[in-house]
Amino acid sequence: MLILILLLFPLAAAAIISCCRNDRFSRFMLVFTAVVNTVICSILCVGRSNTLQLTKSLCLKADFDGLVIVTLTAVLFLFTAVHIIFWLPHDSKFSGGRTGMSQSKFTAFLLLFLFTMNLTALAQDFGMLWVAVESTTIASAPLINFHKSKKSLEAMWKYLLICSIGIGLALFGTMLIATSLNDPETGLAFSSIKNALAGGNFNITWFKAGFVFFLAGYGLKMGLAPFHTWLPDAYSESSSPVSALLSGALINYSLLAIMRLLAVIPEQLLDFSTGYLKFFGFFSLAVSAFFIIRQKDFKRMLAYSSVEHMGVITLMLAYKLGYVALFHAVIHSLLKMSLFLAAGNILLSYRTRAVAAVKGLFDRLPHNAAAWVFGMLLICGTPPSPLFLTELILVYNAGMIPGIAILLLLLIIFCAMSQRMLSMTAPAEEITADTETDKLAKVPAFVLTLITIAGVISMLFTLLMIKVTETFIQTWVAAWCQVFKDAGLW
């Protein structure tokens, strides 16, 4: 029942908003639906009514991975919805009273987008998963063209066309995986495919081909290089709340699709799959480092930062750090949402996305400046960022040469992003900016505070575990030394 409400409530709210077309009511319904959605996800987290059987072989289920992603989306959507309430009047002023898309239509598409993301997280069948991911593309595309400018229209069509190619590749990969199964009655349910593969009842050649197309298709939607070309345009031309949801929530669902496939892959194909994951992970890190160095637009810089972190997460999956990858994805989503909201506030104030044109942030927008600087440091993995621990774990498990390569690329990205951050906060007297938008820093500042607290706690816990482990090892070594001494062997 709860899963049914989780799906139907945003859909019903979107339909009601479309019929009423009242701006004030639409804003209320947006926040109300976001609150209800978060409450339902919280109840599901305690394990109540987590399965909805649609047919004999088709069901929706809030399993661990899906529940983490859908709960994260609920939290992101709630924070973004609250920000939108205060952001819309400022954006209307920025646009001269003409925002392009009406508020009721905008909120209706946002709720439709939420429905499609919830469906993707709960899908337990590769066929339904593909349909759900495709629906997220259709629902989110109009949001990119919120301001209805030439560049946003171009970004929307680029997003639609390129992601449709990716979804086509993913469909072909899914068909090849289905073809590889020798039993036509197996179906595409995750559990059925896992049992068939574990029993060796499949054609290994067809499955390998299916995996490659599956990874390429969903990797494109995830933003892995070299399939990332839609991402910088879509993120930079979207309004800041939409950019926050695209970067913070949407790309996690393609990541989830890849994790679903990795969970069913048999032991003999793990080396084959991890080889491709390592290639795309390192290539994404290298591409993002190259483009961030050259970047002069602060929203596009954040877009390439998403490419970087998707590469990092893919490498974590390659080195069998699944839970670390999931934790990294959660923290990255919260940080990137906060940064895009702060970037949107800076854009409203300075009327430009050019790094060179933004100066004196602390003088004109002190609260946004603090959120921007602290968020940039956290997203680069600077302690006490939780990303410092996850990236440290990745470097340790990657080995010497790959670990050094990862560290070098991360260092290049850190230096490039820090240089642009410092440039934007440099003092300036001649540049004027609208200081009213500084009031919009509340949501990003609150989220960044929570992440910082989580980072401090995780680091203290890690240090405690290191101390406990060190004490245990010392005790263990001393005990065995005493045994050797008593035996006369030492």
* Of 331, 305, 286, 160, nearest in space to 236 by CA: 305
* Of 1, 136, 151, nearest in space to 62 by CA: 1
Position 195 confidence tier, pLDDT thresholds 50, 70, 90: confident
Position 257 confidence tier, pLDDT thresholds 50, 70, 90: very high
The pLDDT of residue 482 is 63
Locus of tokens 């190259």: 290
- Interaxial angle between packed helices 204-222 and 126-144, expressed in degrees from 0 to 180 and rounded to the nearest 10: 20
The pLDDT of residue 246 is 94
**Residues 282 and 227 sit within 8 Å (Cβ to Cβ):** no
Start-end of H helices in 21-125: 23-45, 64-94, 103-122
| Residue 63 in this model has a pLDDT that exceeds 70 | yes
* Of 218, 247, 236, 239, nearest in space to 332 by CA: 247
Position 431 confidence tier, pLDDT thresholds 50, 70, 90: low
What digits encode the pLDDT tens for the residues 96-129? 555 578 888 999 999 999 999 999 999 999 999 9
The pLDDT of residue 466 is 63
Position 58 confidence tier, pLDDT thresholds 50, 70, 90: confident
Arithmetic mean of pLDDT, 124-142: 93
Position 426 confidence tier, pLDDT thresholds 50, 70, 90: confident
Instruction: Please list, in sequence order, all residues whose beta carbon lies within 8 angstroms of the beta carbon of residue 265, skipping any fewer than 6 positions away.
Output: 197, 211, 273
**Residues 260 and 172 sit within 8 Å (Cβ to Cβ):** no
The pLDDT of residue 269 is 86
Whether the model pTM is above 0.75: yes
The pLDDT of residue 20 is 85
Instruction: List phi, psi (to 5°) of 489.
Output: -90, -10
| Residue 75 in this model has a pLDDT that exceeds 70 | yes
The pLDDT of residue 45 is 85
Least reliable range by pLDDT among 6-20, 180-194, 204-218, 416-430: 180-194
More confident residue, 202 or 392: 392
| Residue 487 in this model has a pLDDT that exceeds 60 | no
Position 69 confidence tier, pLDDT thresholds 50, 70, 90: very high
Structure tokens at 318: 């390659």
The pLDDT of residue 136 is 94
| Residue 410 in this model has a pLDDT that exceeds 60 | yes
Distances (CA, A) of 339 to 364, 437, 447: 18, 15, 10
pLDDT over 90, % of the chain: 61
User: Can you give 15-28 as a three-state secondary structure string?
Assistant: HHHHHHCCHHHHHH
Position 52 confidence tier, pLDDT thresholds 50, 70, 90: confident
Structure tokens at 276: 């491709």
Residue 396 CB-density burial (10 A; 0-12 exposed, 13-18 middle, 19+ buried): exposed
**Residues 379 and 447 sit within 8 Å (Cβ to Cβ):** no
User: Can you give 336-376 as a three-state secondary structure string?
Assistant: HHHHHHHHHHHHHHHCCCEHHHCCCHHHHCHHHHHHHHHHH
Averaged pLDDT score across all residues of the chain:
88
DSSP string covering 390-401: HHHHHHHHH-HH
| Residue 1 in this model has a pLDDT that exceeds 80 | no
Give the helix/strand (H/E) hosting 52.
strand 51-53
What digits encode the pLDDT tens for the residues 432-476? 666 778 888 999 999 999 999 988 888 887 777 666 555 645 565
Q: Determine the Cα angle at 266 with ends 210 and 321, to 5°.
A: 95
Arithmetic mean of pLDDT, 330-348: 94
Instruction: List phi, psi (to 5°) of 265.
Output: -70, 135
Arithmetic mean of pLDDT, 232-248: 93
What's the rounded Cα separation, in Å, for the pair 426 and 197?
A: 58
Arithmetic mean of pLDDT, 13-23: 89
The pLDDT of residue 102 is 86
The pLDDT of residue 443 is 93
